[in-house]
Structure 1
Amino acid sequence: MADHTFLPETHRVLQLTSTREPLQLQVVPTPQPGPGSAIVKVLAASVLSYSEDIYNGKRQYPFPIPFVPGASAIGRIVALGPDATTLTVGQLVYLDCTIRGRDNPTEAVILSGIIEGFTESSRKLMHSEWRNSTYAEYTKFPLENCIPLNERRLLGSVDTGGLGYRVEDLMHISRLLVPYGGLDDVGLKPGETVIIAPATGPFGSAAVRVALALGAGRVIAMGRNKTALGQLSVLDNRISTVEITGNEQTETEALRKLGPIDVFFDISPPMAAESTHLKSAVTSLRHGGRISLMGGVSEYRSFPYASFMHRNLTMKGTWMFSRQQILSFVKLVESGLLPLDEKSGMSVAGKFRLDEWAEAFKKARVVQSGEVVVIEP
Structure 2
Amino acid sequence: MAQDFQLPTTHRVLQLISTEEPLQVKTIPTPQPGPGSAIVQILVTGVLSYSGEIYNGKRQYPFPKPFVPGASAVGRLIAVGPDATMSLGQLVLLDCAIHARDDPSAVMLSGIVEGFTEASRKLMHGEWRDSTYAQYTKFPLENCIPLNEERLLGSPSTGGFGYRVEELVHISRLLVPYGGLSDVGLKAGETVVIAPATGPFGNAAVRVALAMGAGRVIAMGRNESALKELSASNARVYTVKITGDDQADTQAITKLGPVDVFFDISPPMAAHSTHLKSAIASLRHGGRVSLMGGIKTDISFPYASFMHRNLSLKGTWMYTRYQMLSFVRLIESGLLPIGKGSGLIVERKFGLEDWKEAFEAASVAGINEVVVFVP
TM-score normalised to structure 1 length: 0.98
* Whole-angstrom CA distance in 1 between matches of 2:115 and 2:315: 17
| Residue 35 of structure 1 pairs with residue 35 of structure 2 | yes
Which position in structure 2 is the counterpart of 1:58? 58
State the Cα distance separating 1:212 from its structure 2 match. 0.4
CA deviation digits over 1:61-84, x for unaligned, max 9?
A: 010000000000000000000111
Q: Is the 2:163–2:340 contact (alpha carbons within 8 Å) kept by the matching residues of 1? A: no
State the Cα distance separating 1:121 from its structure 2 match. 1.0
Which position in structure 1 is the counterpart of 2:26? 26
* Whole-angstrom CA distance in 2 between matches of 1:344 and 1:151: 19
Which has the larger displacement, 159-168 or 367-376? 367-376
The one-letter code matched in structure 2 to 1:194 is V
CA deviation digits over 1:218-249, x for unaligned, max 9?
A: 00000010111111111110000000111111
Report the secondary structure of 1:43's partner residue: strand
Q: Is the 1:349–1:367 contact (alpha carbons within 8 Å) kept by the matching residues of 2? A: no
State the Cα distance separating 1:369 from its structure 2 match. 2.2
The one-letter code matched in structure 1 to 2:45 is A
Task: List 4+ stretches of structure 1 deviating above 4 A.
Answer: none
Counting only pairs closer than 5 Å after superposition, residues 73-222 of structure 1 correspond to structure 2 as 73-85=73-85, 87-106=86-105, 108-222=106-220
Which position in structure 2 is the counterpart of 1:371? 369
Which position in structure 2 is the counterpart of 1:330? 328
The one-letter code matched in structure 2 to 1:325 is Q
* Whole-angstrom CA distance in 1 between matches of 2:34 and 2:56: 33
Report the secondary structure of 2:197's partner residue: coil
Which position in structure 2 is the counterpart of 1:48? 48
Q: Is the 1:15–1:26 contact (alpha carbons within 8 Å) kept by the matching residues of 2? A: yes
Which position in structure 1 is the counterpart of 2:269? 271
Report the secondary structure of 2:233's partner residue: coil
The one-letter code matched in structure 1 to 2:124 is M
Which position in structure 1 is the counterpart of 2:316? 318
Which position in structure 2 is the counterpart of 1:6? 6
State the Cα distance separating 1:250 from its structure 2 match. 1.3
Report the secondary structure of 1:78's partner residue: strand
* Whole-angstrom CA distance in 2 between matches of 1:287 and 1:53: 41
The one-letter code matched in structure 1 to 2:89 is G
* Whole-angstrom CA distance in 1 between matches of 2:340 and 2:183: 29
| Residue 247 of structure 1 pairs with residue 245 of structure 2 | yes
Q: Is the 1:235–1:345 contact (alpha carbons within 8 Å) kept by the matching residues of 2? A: no
Counting only pairs closer than 5 Å after superposition, residues 283-294 of structure 1 correspond to structure 2 as 283-294=281-292
Which has the larger displacement, 118-127 or 87-96? 118-127
Unaligned runs of 5+ in 1: none
TM-score normalised to structure 2 length: 0.98
Report the secondary structure of 1:347's partner residue: coil
Q: Is the 1:182–1:318 contact (alpha carbons within 8 Å) kept by the matching residues of 2? A: yes
Q: 1:345 aligns with which of 343, 346, 362?
A: 343
Q: Is the 1:202–1:367 contact (alpha carbons within 8 Å) kept by the matching residues of 2? A: no
The one-letter code matched in structure 1 to 2:94 is L
* Whole-angstrom CA distance in 2 between matches of 1:301 and 1:68: 35
CA deviation digits over 1:351-372, x for unaligned, max 9?
A: 1111111111111111212211
* Whole-angstrom CA distance in 1 between matches of 2:226 and 2:360: 20
State the Cα distance separating 1:373 from its structure 2 match. 0.8
Q: Is the 2:164–2:339 contact (alpha carbons within 8 Å) kept by the matching residues of 1? A: no
Report the secondary structure of 2:346's partner residue: strand
State the Cα distance separating 1:342 from its structure 2 match. 3.0
* Whole-angstrom CA distance in 1 between matches of 2:46 and 2:324: 16
State the Cα distance separating 1:167 from its structure 2 match. 0.4
The one-letter code matched in structure 2 to 1:200 is T
Unaligned runs of 5+ in 2: none
State the Cα distance separating 1:145 from its structure 2 match. 0.3
Please tell me the root mean square deviation across aligned C-alpha atoms, in Å. 0.8
Identity score, percent: 72
* Whole-angstrom CA distance in 2 between matches of 1:253 and 1:215: 25
* Whole-angstrom CA distance in 2 between matches of 1:369 and 1:341: 15
Q: Is the 2:184–2:288 contact (alpha carbons within 8 Å) kept by the matching residues of 1? A: yes
* Whole-angstrom CA distance in 2 between matches of 1:70 and 1:146: 15
Report the secondary structure of 2:41's partner residue: strand
State the Cα distance separating 1:349 from its structure 2 match. 3.7
